[in-house]
Amino acid sequence: MGETHASGSAVRFDPLLRKRIAEGQQPAVSALDVCHYYGGGELRKQVLFDNSLDIYPGEIIIMTGPSGSGKTTLLTLIGTLRRVQEGELRVLDCPLHQASTADILALRRQIGFIFQAHNLFDSLTATQNVRMALELVDPRGSRTDHNRRAKEMLEMVGLGHRTGHKPKQLSGGQKQRVAIARGLAHRPRLVLADEPTAALDEVSGRTVVELLRKMAKEEQTTILIVTHDNRILDVADRIVNLVDGRIRSDVLVQEAAIVGQMLMRCELFRHLTPRSLTEMADHLHSESFDAGQTVIREGEPGDKFYLIRQGRVSVRRGPDQREVAVLGEGDFFGEIALLEDKPRNATVVTLEPSILYSLSKPEFQKAMAEQASFETEIRTSLFDRQ
């Protein structure tokens, strides 16, 4: 059987995204090589560097990173509050890098904005502040319907008893919840939120994130949250980390947890710390194989370690390619050639459509070096205690 090649991806932990793409689902947000600058001339400073990102309908993305890393700039580009300078950015099928003013105004009606600055009108009640947003999006709607929707949203964020209060009669957290209700009242297809829970206590913050989770699940609303609030990380489908203007990592949370558990079961990595395991998992690449494909071939140089995410493979050896083992989900192979720096000692062929995670030889060797360092540290510590 001749060797065939798998389709691979540099996107971290992408089987679920691959499935969405296969089903024909288009991204709600698609950024390609987006750069951004502030200032001009000698004072011109680049703050975003070649960022690419796809976000699908119904996903909740949390964007993290140090202050000044470009998170809010990227958020405001997606929200049309800044013009795209370099790269391509498509939001809800609208190409922002070539959109007209009319296109952008129409797009904004489909976006819900939640920012740290509440920007409430002091002379209006909570209901009136929320209703004003509805009137801007749907100027032909009835006042009665708008009032009903505004009060419904205020009840959803736990402010049903404050609908008639003006901002000066509300606490900072209550003002924030009014702003959240206002941003969600018109049932936007995309929600952009900058630190939406920063001013909220644990109970109120949980109410808000559960509301966002419900919108994502039931209405396929796409939600992008910039936050430093570790209390709400559990709501994320993916966590995108931005550092110094570059997307450093993009991790499917549930998938990362599954893969982390798989790696922990591997005797090979028994001494790796949780941090090292996480870093290792972040360098895994997914590869999809059809049934009958050759993954590695006996006698060839070893360049990757493999972890089986889905499917089954046959391990075969010798001139007659006799089957010596069948491996399934959570099993791994390919480590011997990397550990001993020898050719592959077996051929591995998929028995059914499979998704494998691969780790390059340099990253595998780095993990092994960290494990050896950890073992040495333990021995030294034990010796020093004697």
Residues 236 and 276 reside in one and the same domain: no
Q: At what angle do helices 172-184 and 143-156 cross, to 10 degrees?
A: 130
User: Is residue 42 domain-resident?
Assistant: yes
Residues 127 and 275 reside in one and the same domain: no
**What CATH number does the domain containing 326 carry?**
2.60.120.10
84 touches 34 (CB < 8 A): yes
Q: pLDDT tier at 22 (50, 70, 90 boundaries)?
A: low
pLDDT attached to residue 81? 94
Residues 140 and 60 reside in one and the same domain: yes
346 touches 313 (CB < 8 A): no
Residue 307 corresponds to which tokens in the numbers above?
């972890």
pLDDT at position 376 over 70: no
Residues 306 and 198 reside in one and the same domain: no
Neighbours of 323 (CB within 10 A): 14
Radius of gyration of the chain (CA): 25
141 touches 134 (CB < 8 A): yes
* End-of-domain residue from the set 215, 231, 253: 253
Phi, psi of 72 (to 5 degrees): -65, -35
State pLDDT tens for residues 68-116: 999 999 999 999 999 999 999 999 999 999 999 999 999 999 999 998 8
Q: Return the DSSP state at 341.
A: T
Q: pLDDT tier at 20 (50, 70, 90 boundaries)?
A: low
* End-of-domain residue from the set 224, 253, 282: 253
pLDDT attached to residue 2? 33
pTM of the model: 0.74
Residues 224 and 370 reside in one and the same domain: no
Residue 359 belongs to domain spanning: 266-381
**What CATH number does the domain containing 156 carry?**
3.40.50.300
pLDDT attached to residue 17? 58
pLDDT attached to residue 3? 35
pLDDT attached to residue 15? 56
pLDDT at position 256 over 80: no
Average pLDDT over every residue of 324-334: 94
Q: How far apart are CA 63 and CA 236, in angstroms?
A: 9
Residues 292 and 370 reside in one and the same domain: yes
State pLDDT tens for residues 125-142: 999 999 998 998 888 889
User: Is residue 228 domain-resident?
Assistant: yes
Map tokens 């200032």 to a residue. 39
pLDDT at position 341 over 60: yes
User: Is residue 17 domain-resident?
Assistant: no
pLDDT at position 8 over 70: no
Q: What is the mean pLDDT of the chain?
A: 87
Q: pLDDT tier at 164 (50, 70, 90 boundaries)?
A: very high
pLDDT attached to residue 257? 76
Q: pLDDT tier at 248 (50, 70, 90 boundaries)?
A: confident
Q: What is the share, in percent, of the chain residues with pLDDT greater than 70? A: 90
pLDDT at position 5 over 50: no
Q: What is the share, in percent, of the chain residues with pLDDT greater than 90? A: 65
Single-letter amino acid, residue 216: A
Helix, coil or strand: residue 103: helix
Long-range contacts of 378-385 (CB under 8 A, 24+ apart): 378/271
Q: How far apart are CA 134 and CA 143, in angstroms?
A: 10
